[in-house]
Structure 1
Amino acid sequence: MQENEPKNVLEDVSCFKLPDHKTKIVCTLGPASSSENIIRKLIMKGMNISRLNFSHGNFQDHKDVIQKIRNISRELCIEIAIMADLPGPKIRTGKLETEPIHLSKGDEVILTTENVRGEGQIIPVNYKKLPESVSPGNFIYLNDGFIQLECLKILKNNVYCRVITEGPLSSNKGVNLPGIDIDLEPVTENDLKVIDFALDAGVDIFSISFVEKAEDIEKVRNFALKRGKSVFLIAKIEREKAVRDIDRIIEVSDGLMIARGDMGVELPIQNVPQVQKELIAKATMKGIPVITATHMLESMTENIRPTRAEVTDVANAILDGTDAVMLSGETAVGKYPVESVEMMSSIAKASEEWRDRTRWGIERIETRICGVEMNIDDVISHHVNEAVQRLSVDYVVTPTMSGQTARRISRFRPSTWILAFSRYPLTAQSLTLSYGVFPVYVKKLETDWENTVLGKMKEWGIYQSGDIVVLTQGQSPGRPGGTNLLKILTLV
């Protein structure tokens, strides 16, 4: 077995462990969660995808964490995807001599592009064109918009501002300039270096920050292809330009992330809930996974329990149809990383059970999917959904090359697990992002894959005589999206 290759599940009966919820959980790993002990606990509590934030840390640190994830994933025999989050052209504050500092309302501060450490009223910023980009009267936001400044004047490399909304500020925090054109390429040279490193480390799932147009996604894909690599690309939607061009971005992306931190500054904050719902609906229609992110259980960074509003936020994202929910600072630097994942899992379980019981929102999803022109794959997935609803199906089982069939079925948010068997490691890894899909990597699928898989399911002890299983299959092996056969079996 190669170092980066997942375990061949069909060879090991102990590999089959179904979670008690179908919504996938993304955890950002950092200082609070980079030890083997914590990573193991996060996986056991429900982490499906490990997010590595390349805005922080160095390559060696990330390489060590990647190896830990791979080792523990094999040890526990649980498929865990690793997602490299590209830094992008994020404008950030520089290093502060003492931190955090507190900016009080009415204070005057100086944002400087000079290479200095922040001290007193001087705050360094890494965007050299800041003085020529802003004008007196413009608003500048720091730390995900929690601090608001008003530009007073510009002198050479310094922008003089008054604090409108006060708050604490630390080094390396985000700077937002809503409504101002920023002269930065969404995919930077540093991003390409990160991609090179990640590909060499066996990571091929990337989230691309500050996407503005479809060409940003294609630039990353072409860069990887020139190195002979196929990649799974997730567009982070956080800028107004991306929201305006969302249909073209979805066409070339493998998944979406609704990054509500910067989005809540780039867009009027009161519009973020509507944009979230629209993006989830569009991704569902397209059959690509969508992650809802940022401040989901933020208070658990410091507290053992979340607020009621945060619990409601997570539940509503799940009921909207998101495939995955994400934890950021809660698991990266928080005091309670394991408890945060455990809480997220419990919210997902309760929300899914209520939706399965009431069918809340399911008819709307079905109407939207079936209200457009459908191809053969769409029709098959629709009939799978009908069978699940009317026949008390216990499992949906499908072999897959690209993951398309499993994702099309997943769009309907069925109450039944979708067991997706693939001989392609990237397909198995990427399917960890899709709602209700349990990916199973196998080195090869025999011609008689049906009896092989059913035999293993019996060996795993996950079905009883009389259980109903829906199987999908393509008559053209090796062609993505070629599923054209549906079988319903009562197991003996």
Structure 2
Amino acid sequence: MLLPDHKTKIVCTIGPSSESKPVLQKMMQSGMNVARLNLAHGDFDEHRRRIRTIRSVAEELKVPIAILLDLPGPKIRIGRLPREPIMLKPGDMVTLTTGASTDEPGVIPVDFEEFPSLVSENSTIYLADGFIQLRVQRMIPDGAVCIVVIGGLLSSHKGMNLLGASLAVETLTERDREGLAFGIAEGVDAFSVSFIRRAEDVRQAREYAESLAPCVRIIAKIERREAVENVDEILAEADGVMIARGDLGVQIPIEEVPVVQKRIIHQANISGRPVITATQMLESMTEHIRPTRAEVTDVANAILDGTDAVMLSGETAIGSFPVETVQMMAGIARTTEEQRRALAGGGTCEEYFRRGRGRAGMAVGDVVSLNVIEARDALRIQYIITPTRTGSTPRRISRFKPEGWILSFSRNFRTPQFLSFSYGVQPFFIQSEREDWHEEIMEFLKASDVIAPGDRVLFTEGVSPGEAGTDSLTILTVE
């Protein structure tokens, strides 16, 4: 059995460019770990077909691929354009309207009935992650007439940001509830919830989801100013976070985004929550075979910051080179990870617990997982083996970004699927009821030529009766 040549997980958005079986096969073989389906585009039947194709290909290739369903949330979006994309040029006059759709030039539909009440004369409107900027010239009954200040290409369903406008709606919309019900019925592995503001938003999403099924994984998208301010409480409630830099870069000054990204990644690492860095990572590969140098540097810096996963959006959903983009992302990850220790500064999660504020009040699991890293480095042990029920043990170790692989085994199918989001974790599902399943794990690894007699491995898990968490560490020599 060959393990991947990189440990950073790659999330790929699946769309028209990547939904076919042959393309999905190549993307999985190139390094894709998570398939993201964006409910802001397409209908349930379309996504159902994609889910089943993804599952079928993953089963054929015998690779663990998680499916992430992205709920659109209460976002104002452009409606369906009769012809797309359209080019908006500075000085053009356009009409944004919630009225009946029309193919009249310069009329842009808006999928949000309350839109006219949220803007006024001289308001600034941002479209498509802020790349297009409009200024309201005058109001009309069902919308606004605007002048294009900064132009660009606009496609259907692109997002709209209105600075200073407060949407008086719940974070979890009716469409989101339908999406949760659909995803649970289709067995997806996690849901990302858009426009989270506080921990209560996560709780509401979880309560609704768990009224339909137990143990639903919720990833909070950090894309609002309020979410940045409340990120600690959100991390305590969510199963993971996504730094959605598109809307975030409009909600806060764009020059603050790199610092906010670093801080959120560090806080997520400390909390033991997987963190995804998203939006425009290799954007130019939507149309070109190679990324820009700045994009490559952006991906590398996110990895050095400690992100668990990097995400591709339009690059794989509608781009011309979905497979090549995954290959490029994997190559950047591999090269950057080789230099992680040499380039890491003093702000790592490991330093936080060894000599920083995390030293006070450490839990048993923190102490044990830190000693796992110490033992691995001192003895140059290649594999850390973590039998787990919930995934807590491998995630505690993953946050320290070890050089060796974390081989995680669980008899709960949902646990290894969600571990596909965690750095350096290779998850396995063990379908066994044997009492000596630890011995079965070792037999599996020997039969797969991962370990051989004489090798040393680290074995760590929670063993105390009635206790949850990592509390044991054993160094074994393979017989």
User: Normalized against structure 2, the TM-score is what?
Assistant: 0.96
Match of residue 272 from structure 1: 257
Equivalent residue in structure 2 for 1:353, among 338, 342, 348: 338
For residue 158 of structure 1, report the CA deviation from its aligned partner.
2.4
Question: Which amino acid is 1:339 matched to?
Answer: E
2:344 maps to a residue whose letter is W
- Distance between the aligned counterparts of 1:113 and 1:232, measured in 2? 35
Secondary structure at 1:219 match in 2? helix
Matched, 1:488 2:469: no
Q: Deviation digits for residues 96-134 of structure 1, max 9, x if unmatched?
A: 233222221122222112122353222121222222212
Asked if residue 365 in structure 1 is aligned to residue 349 in structure 2, the reply is: yes
Q: Is the 8 A contact 1:468 1:489 kept in 2?
A: yes
Q: Give the corresponding residue for 2:442.
A: 454
Among residues 464, 470, 486, which one is paired with 2:458 in the alignment? 470
Instruction: Give, in whole Å, the separation in 1 of the partners of 2:85 and 2:48.
Output: 29
SS in 2 for 1:48: strand
Q: Structure 1 residue 473: deviation in Å?
A: 2.8
Contact 2:350 2:400 in 1 (8 A): yes
Question: 5+ unaligned residues in a row in structure 1: which ranges?
Answer: 1-15
Question: What does residue 238 of structure 1 align with?
Answer: 223
What is the identity, as a one-letter code, of the residue corresponding to 1:127? F
> Displacement, 1:465?
3.5
Matched, 1:148 2:136: no
| In 2: Cα distance, 1:199 partner to 1:85 partner | 13
Residue 126 (structure 2) pairs with residue 138 (structure 1): no
Alignment of 1:208-357 (within 5 A): 208-356=193-341
Residues 401, 479 of structure 1: 8 Å contact kept: no
Task: State the partner residue of 2:389.
Answer: 401
**Offset, 1:211:** 1.1
Could you tell me which of 350, 363, 366 is aligned with 1:375? 363
**Is the 8 Å Cα contact of residues 184 and 213 (structure 2) preserved in structure 1?**
no
CA deviations on 1:273-311 (whole Å, 9 max, x unpaired) are: 111111101100100000000110011110111110110
1:192-212 Cα distance to aligned partner (Å, 9 max, x none): 111111111111310111111
Confirm or deny that 1:440 pairs with 2:428.
Answer: yes
The number of residues matched between the two structures is 475
Q: Deviations over 1:460-481 (max 9, x none)?
A: 1112333221101322367532
Match of 1:431 in 2: 419
Are 1:21 and 2:6 an aligned pair? yes
Deviation at 1:457, TM superposition (A): 1.3
Distance 1:97 1:66, change over 3 A: closer
For 1:288, what is the secondary structure of its paired residue? coil
Identical pairs, percent:
50
Partner of 2:32: 47
Q: TM-score with structure 1 length normalisation?
A: 0.93
Q: Provide the C-alpha distance between the structure 2 equivalents of 1:352 and 1:66, rounded to a whole number of angstroms.
A: 31
Where 1:27 maps in the other structure, the secondary structure is strand
Does 1:174 pair with 2:162?
Answer: no
CA deviations over 1:45-70 (Å, ceiling 9, x no partner): 00000001111112122111111111
AA at the equivalent of 2:413: P
d(CA) in 2 for partners of 1:478, 1:54? 40
- 2:426 aligned counterpart, secondary structure: strand
Q: Distance in 2 between matches of 1:101 and 1:176?
A: 19
Give the letter aligned to residue 447 of structure 1.
Answer: E
1:94 aligns with 2:82: no
After superposition, the C-alpha distances for 1:166-223 in whole angstroms (9 at most, x for unaligned) are 1122222111112221223221111111111111111131011111121221112111
Tell me if the contact between 2:189 and 2:417 (Cα under 8 Å) persists in the aligned partners.
no
Segment of structure 1 superposing worse, 86-95 or 428-437: 86-95
Q: Where does residue 6 of structure 1 map in the other structure? A: none
CA RMSD of aligned residues (A): 1.5
Which residue, out of 49, 52, 68, partners 1:83? Answer: 68
